[in-house]
Every structure is written in C-alpha cells, then in structure tokens.
Amino acid sequence: MRRMTLVGAFLLIGLVGGFVWFVSAAPGPAGIQRFVIVPAESQVSYRVAETLFNQNNRLNIAMGITNAIKGEITIDRARPANSRIGTVTVAISQLRSDSARRDNMIRENWLESSKFPIAEFTPTEVRGLPETYQDGREIPLQVTGNLKIRNAVKPATFAVIVRLDGAALTAVATTTILMTDFGFDPPSILGILKAENEVRLELRFVARP
C-alpha cells in the first residue's frame, strides 16, 4: 500500500510538473510577437553635402555609418493596426566616415557626440499599417515621433518600408533634418570646406524574435 502511495505521489508530481512546464512554455496572446533589432545586421547612416574649396569647389557627399542601434518592435499579426514601435537609440558617438579628421571634428566641435553620445527617436504615431497581415509583403509606413539629438527634441517623420518575413523583420527608414534645429551649425573650415545644413538620415535594420 505504501509502495502504491509513493508511486501515485511520483505520478502526481510528474503531472503537475508537466502542466507547469506547458503553461510557462505556452505563447502569449495569439499573433503578438516581440522583435529586437540585431545591431550586427543593422546600420544607421548620415549623408551631408559639402563643398570642398581646396578641390576647385568640388561637391562631395560626406557619409558616416554605425551599427550601434537598439530598439524593439511589437507585431500583432492578427491585428496589424495594434503593432507598436518602441524607442530607437543610436550611439552617434560611434559614427565613422572615410575621414578620421572629419569624425573627430564632428565629435568634438559640431555635433559634440563625445558629450552627447546617444540619439533617440520615440515614435508617437504609425500610419499605413494594413488591416491584414501577409508574409513577405513590403509595407510603406509613415512613422512620426520625437527625435532627440544633443539636448534638443524635435518632431520628425520617417518614411519606412517594412517587411515581415517569417522570423525576420526588416525595415528601411529615412528622414531629413537640419543641424541648426538641434543646436549646432554645419561644419565649416575656412578655405577647406563648408557643409550644407540639411542631413539625410537612414536606418536599415533587421529585427528578430
């Protein structure tokens, strides 16, 4: 009798343990999935037109890149309109171009990213989300929010092309800003170069569950 009681107890423990495992392993609400940006597969870049006085006023496009980007996106496959984009942060102090001199001057004298190393974009509205989800479909969106660079916060709207294909969420987001809106003047070195005020920003990222 005692042996049967012990066997019963072990069976009960096994059943309870299996039930607990099942509950903890069960997915959340149907269709809702959290994606995290993968820095190694993503990048942020800037492009600025500059006139090179010491090269017969040649027009050049300066470009800097970093993959130091973080962010999360929540996708609701059942009701795409409920999908949300969290705050995206970029370590702008890690931007690199083809000129170490340019990078150092930007970090220390203009953008001052050595002092203000992080830029943030906090979305407040996403327009263009579809009514139904279709795997592999490219979706054009307008994402509006607050962009913080240095200690200035300004509204910004990104044009975004997003694609959800199985376990990979890919996106390309672009916008244009003015340096003076964020408290610094365009780079200018007498007799050498002068940059335009307008900056084109581009975010290319891959996010995975």
Max alpha carbon distance in the chain (Å)?
Answer: 101
Beta strands at 43-52 and 69-70: parallel, antiparallel or unpaired: unpaired
The closest of 63, 38, 69 to 50, measured between CA atoms, is 63
- Cβ–Cβ < 8 Å for 126, 116: no
Does this model's pTM top 0.85? My answer is no
d(CA 160, CA 86): 15
**Tens place of pLDDT per residue across the chain (209 aa):** 444 343 343 333 333 344 333 333 334 455 789 999 999 999 999 999 999 998 999 999 999 999 999 999 999 988 999 999 999 999 999 999 998 988 998 999 899 999 999 999 999 999 999 988 888 999 999 999 999 999 999 999 999 999 998 899 999 999 999 999 999 999 888 888 899 999 999 999 999 99
Q: HSE of 126 in the Cβ direction (CA atoms, 13 Å)? A: 22
57-62 long-range contacts (CB < 8 A, ≥24 apart) are 60/193, 62/97, 62/99, 62/102, 62/195
